[in-house]
Amino acid sequence: MRVRLYDVAHARAGDKGNLNTVALIAYDPAWYPVLCAEVTPERVAAHLADRVVGEVVRHRLDNVEALIFVCPRGGDDTVTTSLWLDAHGKALSSALLEMVVDVDEESAPSLPARPGGAAPPTGGE
Amino acid sequence: MDVNGGTVRIGCGAGFAADRVEPAVDLVERGALDTLVLECLGERTVALAALRRLADPGGGYDPMLAKRMRALLGPLRRTGTRLVTNAGAAHPQAAARMVAALAAEAGEPLAVAAVTGDDVLDRIDPDAPAWEDGRPLAEHGELVSANAYIGVDALLPALETGAPVVIAGRAADPSLFLAPLVHALGWDTADWDRMAAGTLVGHLLECAGQVTGGYFADPGVKPVPGLARLGYPLAEVGADGGAVVTKPDGTGGRVDRMTVVEQLTYEVTDPGAYLTPDVTLDITGVGVEGLGGDRVRVGGARGRARPAELKVSVGYRAGFRGEGEISYAGRGALDRARLAAEVVRERVAGAVPRLRVDVVGVDAVHGSALSEGAPYECRLRVAGLAPDRATADIVAEEVSALYTSGPAGGGGLRAGTTEVVGVLSTTVPRERVETRVAVYGGGERR
């Protein structure tokens, strides 16, 4: 089944100079191994290629079920000299959560419930 | 400083230069704090402040500091809470004099300590490569500021003067928290695990509302109660470095495992080695335990020796940015915005060296790859960077001209040109940075 990261994880972006950190945090620890397997640095680099230039490095924080992606931008795309509307790259957290991954239906953990009570819509296109 | 049963209570009342004032007042009045920290400097804030100091020798500190202090001086005095801030920006002495004068005017003279020495413009190598692109610093443009990230070493002597207010410039954000913890709890600054524990507390608190539910809400998915009344954070820190992060009762927001983990990861480029002037922090073993009731216990930070060199933020004149925006709505809005983009590109044609043209609502934030469907309304945005103001002005002029000489129905024009101060990073050997403390005003000491 196809799952949008937005349905199983939350994210926060930070910035330093011309790079962004984007953290991806599983709502349910059961999804963390799936994120580790599917959300590779190569896939993140391709997904964010509009803004991210060069190699993405991934760090695992197994202690809090989070992945940190370190995403470089162009040399002239710094927070001060960028011509992008979002000079910091803060909204990249939302861009990452738009990624859709393929997960084996039988081994997939159940999708986390939303605070409102309704189950999230299954991702897919 | 008072220590409540071996526990220090430290709060954060500002996480950036333009942060709100009221939550800091509430923290002081109801948080039973030992120390309030105001973190008011970003990478570029100090460079902009340096330009203001060039224009006005008595300026160069955070322009919101006077407003903050007018609101805080009374509550700080009544509760015996100490204040530590980096709002001195490019001129901590001027900031300290101003705060001392405000206190004297209010009839309650107050000693204010200024920490200086982070300005290293005459001590860096202008030919050193910038971290950002590897080119020599000076090749980017005229260097206007260079500020070393100073730490606990620089702040402790100011705390030891007993001054109730300590104002620094480019002190590292977590050091603003670690220094009062070291001072109150008597930690050894070579006890790397303690330095790591205090740095972790600083890291979690330094962005103020970002750990109490700010920058977190997503309706229906990640709800935050009372976001408009967001409370700012405080930590109860034990002598062993273990801490509980919380916020004043009755304020909006939430402090739980999710909000704390988001902030734990924030701006961390290497979780095994988060570098500050004081320690090399390893957060890969940090535990985050939600206790309920907006309380979260954190611990397990590990430390290694501090880096040999200090990071330096270098400001340079990067030219001028011209920007213009105009909106289109209804059927064909996107086609008209795209036509307007082509028209501006053709009219500007090479005059502006770096030009970016986006449609807000479609591809301005992330590029077009993630957009779906055509919006009812959208907004053309053109931005260009040029070495001189007159060239940058061409961008604003040509977007403005779309009113009468562009596609149908453009409205809501905004256009202008601003000077750009770029910021680069480098390092400086620790021994080249000499910090000092001066105390202004008051005389009344605790």
Element (H, E) at B368: none
A67 phi-psi bin (left φ>0, alpha ψ -120 to 50, beta other): beta
Partner residue opposite A64 with nearest CB, options B288, B384, B385? B288
Per-residue pLDDT of chain B (446 residues; tens, 9 = 90+): 445 568 999 999 999 999 999 999 999 999 999 999 999 998 889 989 998 998 999 999 999 999 999 999 999 999 999 999 999 999 999 999 999 999 999 999 999 999 999 999 999 999 999 998 999 999 999 999 999 999 999 999 999 999 999 999 999 999 999 999 999 999 999 999 999 999 999 999 999 999 999 999 999 999 999 999 999 999 999 999 999 999 999 999 999 999 999 999 999 999 999 999 999 999 999 999 999 999 999 999 999 999 999 999 999 999 999 999 999 999 999 999 999 999 999 999 889 989 999 999 998 888 777 887 789 999 999 999 999 999 999 999 999 999 999 999 999 999 999 999 999 999 999 999 999 999 999 854 44
Q: Does B268 touch chain A (CB under 8 A)?
A: yes
Is it the case that residue A125 has pLDDT exceeding 70? no
In a domain? residue B370: yes
Q: Residue B64: enclosing H or E segment and its boundaries?
A: none
Looking at CA atoms only, how far is residue B354 from chain A in angstroms?
8
- Contact of A125 with chain B, judged by CB distance below 8 Å, is answered with no
Distance from the Cα of B182 to chain A's closest Cα (Å) equals: 27
Q: Are residues B155 and B168 in the same domain?
A: yes
Look at residue B44 in the predicted model and tell me its pLDDT. Answer: 83
Residues B256 and B370 in one domain: no
> B286: which 2 tokens?
């940090």
> Residue A51: closest CA among chain B residues belongs to which residue?
B366
H-type alpha helices, B13-58 = 22-30, 45-55
**CA B354 to each of CA B123, B341, B345: distance values in angstroms, whole numbers, following the listed order:** 32, 15, 11
HEC assignment per residue over chain A: CEEEHHHCEEEEEEEECCEEEEEEEECCHHHHHHHHHHCCHHHHHHHCCCCCCCCCEEEEEHHHCEEEEEEECCCCCCCCCCCCCCCCCCCHHHHHHCCEEECCCCCCCCCCCCCCCCCCCCCCC
Report the relative pairing of strands B165-168 and B377-386 from DSSP bridges: unpaired
Q: Residue B369 has what pLDDT?
A: 78
Chain B, residues 320-379, CB within 8 A of chain A, namely: 321, 354-356, 358, 360, 363-370
- Measured between CB atoms, does A86 come within 8 Å of chain B? yes
User: Are B275 and B334 members of one domain?
Assistant: no
Residue B4 is predicted with a pLDDT of 56
Residues B149, B273: one domain?
A: yes
Residues B239, B216 share a domain: yes
* Residue B338 domain boundaries: 318-424
On whether residue B2 sits in a domain, the answer given is no
Please tell me the distance from the alpha carbon of residue B368 to that of residue B361, in angstroms, as a whole number: 10
Could you give the domains of chain A? Answer: 2-76 (3.30.1360)
Q: Are residues B261 and B353 both part of a single domain?
A: no
What letter would DSSP give residue B171?
B
A117 touches chain B (CB under 8 A): no
* Four-residue CA torsion sign, B153, B157, B159, B164: negative
Q: Are residues B196 and B330 in the same domain?
A: no
Name which of B202, B182, B210, B196 is nearest B286 in CA terms: B196
Q: How many structural domains is chain B composed of?
A: 2
Q: Does residue B62 belong to any structural domain of this protein?
A: yes
**pLDDT averaged over chain B?**
95
Given this model, what pLDDT does residue B367 score? Answer: 79
Q: Do A80 and B421 touch (CB under 8 A)?
A: yes
- pLDDT at residue B3, as a whole number: 53
* Same domain, yes or no: B206 and B325: no
Domain check: are B412 and B434 in the same one? Answer: no
* Residues contacting B399, CB < 8 A, separation 6+: B323, B324, B325, B326, B344, B380, B382, B413, B415
Mean pLDDT of A71-99: 94
Which of B265, B363, B385 is the closest to A21 by Cβ?
B265
B1 within domain boundaries: no
Chain A environment of B262 (Cβ under 8 Å): 10, 12, 23, 25
Same domain? B332 vs B291: no
Contact A21, A14 (CB under 8 A): yes
- Give the residue among A68, A65, A59 at the shortest CA–CA distance from A29: A65
Instruction: Using a pLDDT cut of 90, give the percent of chain B over it.
Output: 91
CB B87 within 8 A of CB B95: yes
Is any Cβ of chain A less than 8 angstroms from the Cβ of B424? yes
The 10 Å Cβ neighbour count of residue B310 is: 26
Beta-carbon separation of A17 and B422 below 8 A:
no
For residue B446, being part of any structural domain is answered with no
Q: Do the chains contact at A50 and B288, CB–CB below 8 Å?
A: no
Confidence at residue B368, expressed as pLDDT on a 0 to 100 scale? 78
Looking at chain A, the whole-number percentage of residues with pLDDT higher than 90 is 81
B365 to chain A: which residues are within 8 Å by CB?
A: 84-86, 91, 95
Interchain proximity A83–B269, CB inside 8 Å: no
Asked whether the beta carbons of B145 and B89 are under 8 A apart, the reply is no
Query: Is B281 an interface residue toward A (CB < 8 Å)?
Result: no
| Cβ-proximal residues to B107 (8 Å cutoff; 6+ apart), any chain | none
Domain contains B445: no
Is A61 in contact with B265 (Cβ distance < 8 A)? yes
Q: What is the pLDDT of residue A116?
A: 54
Tell me, yes or no, if A16 comes closer than 8 A to chain B by beta carbon: yes
B371 is a domain residue: yes
- Whether B143 is in a domain gets the answer yes
> Do residues B303 and B377 both lie within one domain?
no
Q: Tell whether B432 and B417 lie within a shared domain.
A: no
- Predicted complex ipTM: 0.94
Q: Which pLDDT score is estimated for B444?
A: 46
